[in-house]
């Protein structure tokens, strides 16, 4: 199994933008077959070093994650939205 974890800082982290982005991420469930599990969290501490939200996706393999990266829904809906609202992101991908 592979975990794909991405933390995002948003340009305008209003509650509306955060909730809309969370909905967009979660809309991949059932539309992107390579995803085994998905969760999204919105930061509650708002500390100096905090990011605004986190995407946590589980795949059965790195190969499945590569297919996900090319999935049309992921590319044309999810990435399009995220690129419009994010200011920065960091990620970690690991096998467990």
Per-residue pLDDT of the chain (96 residues; tens, 9 = 90+): 999 999 999 999 999 999 999 999 999 999 999 999 999 999 999 999 999 999 999 999 999 999 999 999 999 999 999 999 999 999 999 999
d(C-alpha 33, C-alpha 18), whole Å: 25
Global pTM reads 0.95
Q: Tell me the Ramachandran region of residue 31: left when phi exceeds 0, alpha when psi lies from -120 to 50, beta otherwise.
A: alpha
């Amino acid at each position: 199994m592979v975990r794909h974890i991405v933390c995002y800082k948003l340009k305008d982290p209003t509650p509306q933008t955060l909730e809309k982005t969370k909905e967009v991420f979660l809309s991949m469930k059932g539309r992107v077959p390579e995803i085994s599990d998905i969760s999204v969290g919105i930061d509650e501490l708002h500390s100096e070093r905090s990011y605004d939200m986190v995407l946590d996706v589980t795949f059965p393999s790195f190969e499945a994650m590569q297919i996900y990266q090319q999935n049309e829904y992921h590319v044309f809906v999810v990435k399009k939205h995220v690129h419009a609202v994010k200011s920065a992101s960091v990620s970690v991908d690991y096998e467990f």
